[in-house]
Amino acid sequence: MTIKRGGFTNRLGFVAAAAGSAIGLGNIWRFPYEAGQNGGAVFLVIYIICIFAICFPVMVGEIAVGRKSQSDAYGAFRALGNKRLAVIGGFGILCGFMILSFYNVVAGWAFGYFLEIVFGDLLQEKDFGAFFSSYVTDFWDNLIYSLVFMAATAWIVMKGIKEGIETASKIMMPILFLLLIGLVIHALTLDNAWEGVKFYLWPDFSELTIKTIYAAVGQAFFSLSLGMGALITYGSYVSKKENITRAATVVTLADFSVAFLAGLLIFPLVFSQGQQPTAGPGLVFVALPGIFQHMDPLIGRVVGGGFFLLLCFAALTSTISLLEVPTAYFVDEKKWPRKPVVWGLALTIFIMGLPSLLSQGASPFLTNFLFYEGASKTFLDLISDVFSEVGLPLGGFMISIFIAFKWKTRNLTAEIAQGNPEYPGSKLERFINFMITTICPLFLGLLFIVTVLQKFFNIEVFHLIGL
């Protein structure tokens, strides 16, 4: 029996699905708190350089590898390389698995906030910081919300590529974008908003540290859904007529715009409300309700609820891409039927997310799980640090090495040329090939070593060699 592979119906289908995968909690929840903890504007500068110089070429590479191989993340490296190299794909699948386990928990928070704003009294709270801290310790509520979220994800992935993913992305993303713009305009008129804008847009390079760099690179990979084969998997469903470089440009710009706007919304709010930009993972949940509280109560409920609902949809188009990667692996490689694979994986990942869920105060042991980088870390922090901040750029490193030395850039060019006949010989081709063969492997390889040593072993490499 041959199992038919899915396929995107048209160009917008792929771009919408890839943008849907990219735009999610990473942009609205993670980006502002990472920027807030890492110097604000300096972080933004490094982030921008990284997405265009490092991530964009890797993204083009991933999509091309997927389309050429017509395989899942694991099979792609075997098809274009050999069986041993398939571990690169295997590592990516593992990262996606672990990322989804905690991502789903945070998505559950967003869903809970939607319900609390619309049907509860969240907007009457006096102290949103205290509310959030106690909210995330509630085991049962969070268990149910994240279960609902995972079930919704599994349901869409089960229905296959076309119907599920495309429709959801096409309607929800533009609405979210417009709402964000409206909120930003509103936030900029608040008292002290300017302080936030300064923090976010006026770089103080004396704040630049190694941590700023690895945090920004990790964030860039996370936000663009890179480094673990999500775009290899999506790329395998793309038609040969698709212009890959154009699609990657649109996805990168769309993803960046949403993250940029989220920062431009959160920091003015944080400063006008006298909060701390360094608050960490709760930042958005603590800062954002304030803007809805000051609206007319009914309007606040509608707009605030609407915002968190849209955030849930953005998260959903990301979780489906995270679940699609291991699903494609079992369906393509093991020839298992799609339906039980999807539900089995969803249940397993949900259970693996429980320690992360409990690590927000419900379990003291998991909450103060480890101490590194000069701070006490929760179990969720650990999984996020290992599998996204370190794991994804490492995946990007391996993918660029693979393209540069095994698959070869001439095959990359030939693949991109289908759908983009002007590509061979263009400046863009030279740029991408140079980056993929030189800068990406060198920078990401070095960064991996420096990050692991500094983060987990407190060894500052550049200090050691006297820099």
Q: Which residues bind ligand TRP (CB under 6 A)?
A: 21-22, 24-27, 96, 99, 222-223, 225, 228, 230, 318, 321-322, 392
Residues contacting 155, CB < 8 A, separation 6+: none
To the nearest whole angstrom, how small is the minimum distance from the Cβ of residue 328 to ligand TRP? 13
Question: Given the complex with ligand TRP, which of 225 and 378 has the nearer CB atom?
Answer: 225
Residue 376's beta-bridge partner residues?
Answer: 371
Cα separation, 283 vs 304, in Å, equals 16
Tokens of 372: 């590194």
Cα separation, 367 vs 277, in Å, equals 21
Cα separation, 36 vs 58, in Å, equals 26
Question: Given the complex with ligand TRP, which of 104 and 245 has the nearer CB atom?
Answer: 104
Question: Given the complex with ligand TRP, which of 56 and 423 has the nearer CB atom?
Answer: 56
**CA separation (Å) from 19 to 27, 79, 172?**
12, 26, 11
To the nearest whole angstrom, how small is the minimum distance from the Cβ of residue 49 to ligand TRP? 19
Question: Given the complex with ligand TRP, which of 109 and 423 has the nearer CB atom?
Answer: 109
To the nearest whole angstrom, how small is the minimum distance from the Cβ of residue 96 to ligand TRP? 6
The backbone torsions φ and ψ at residue 32, rounded to the nearest 5 degrees and listed phi first, read -60, -40
Find the residue with minimal CB distance to ligand TRP: 26
- What one-letter code names the amino acid at 345? L
Question: Given the complex with ligand TRP, which of 293 and 388 has the nearer CB atom?
Answer: 388
Considering only the C-alpha atoms of the chain, give the largest distance between any 2 of them, rounded to a whole number of Å.
Answer: 65
Helices (H), 38-138: 41-50, 56-69, 73-80, 86-118, 128-135
Question: Given the complex with ligand TRP, which of 236 and 318 has the nearer CB atom?
Answer: 318
Cα separation, 211 vs 458, in Å, equals 11
Question: Given the complex with ligand TRP, which of 21 and 433 has the nearer CB atom?
Answer: 21
To the nearest whole angstrom, how small is the minimum distance from the Cβ of residue 235 to ligand TRP? 13
To the nearest whole angstrom, how small is the minimum distance from the Cβ of residue 456 to ligand TRP? 21
Question: Given the complex with ligand TRP, which of 99 and 341 has the nearer CB atom?
Answer: 99
CB 80 within 8 A of CB 407: yes
To the nearest whole angstrom, how small is the minimum distance from the Cβ of residue 381 to ligand TRP? 16
Question: Given the complex with ligand TRP, which of 95 and 193 has the nearer CB atom?
Answer: 95
Tokens of 94: 């593992």
Tokens of 405: 């030395």
Q: Residue 242 carries which DSSP code?
A: S
Q: Which of 33, 44, 27 is nearest to 213 (CA)?
A: 44
Cα 437–chain centre separation? 25
To the nearest whole angstrom, how small is the minimum distance from the Cβ of residue 153 to ligand TRP? 11
Q: Which helix (H) or strand (E) holds 369?
A: none
Residues contacting 38, CB < 8 A, separation 6+: 209, 211, 212, 215, 216
Question: Given the complex with ligand TRP, which of 318 and 360 has the nearer CB atom?
Answer: 318
To the nearest whole angstrom, how small is the minimum distance from the Cβ of residue 108 to ligand TRP? 14
Question: Given the complex with ligand TRP, which of 264 and 323 has the nearer CB atom?
Answer: 323
Give the 3-state secondary structure percentages of the chain, helix then strand then coil, rounded to 5.
75, 0, 20
Cα separation, 72 vs 387, in Å, equals 20
Q: Which of 277, 249, 251 is nearest to 263 (CA)?
A: 277
Which three-class secondary structure state does DSSP give residue 7? coil
To the nearest whole angstrom, how small is the minimum distance from the Cβ of residue 130 to ligand TRP? 27
Q: Residue 389 carries which DSSP code?
A: I
To the nearest whole angstrom, how small is the minimum distance from the Cβ of residue 320 to ligand TRP? 9
To the nearest whole angstrom, how small is the minimum distance from the Cβ of residue 12 to ligand TRP? 19
To the nearest whole angstrom, how small is the minimum distance from the Cβ of residue 227 to ligand TRP? 6
Question: Given the complex with ligand TRP, which of 249 and 276 has the nearer CB atom?
Answer: 249
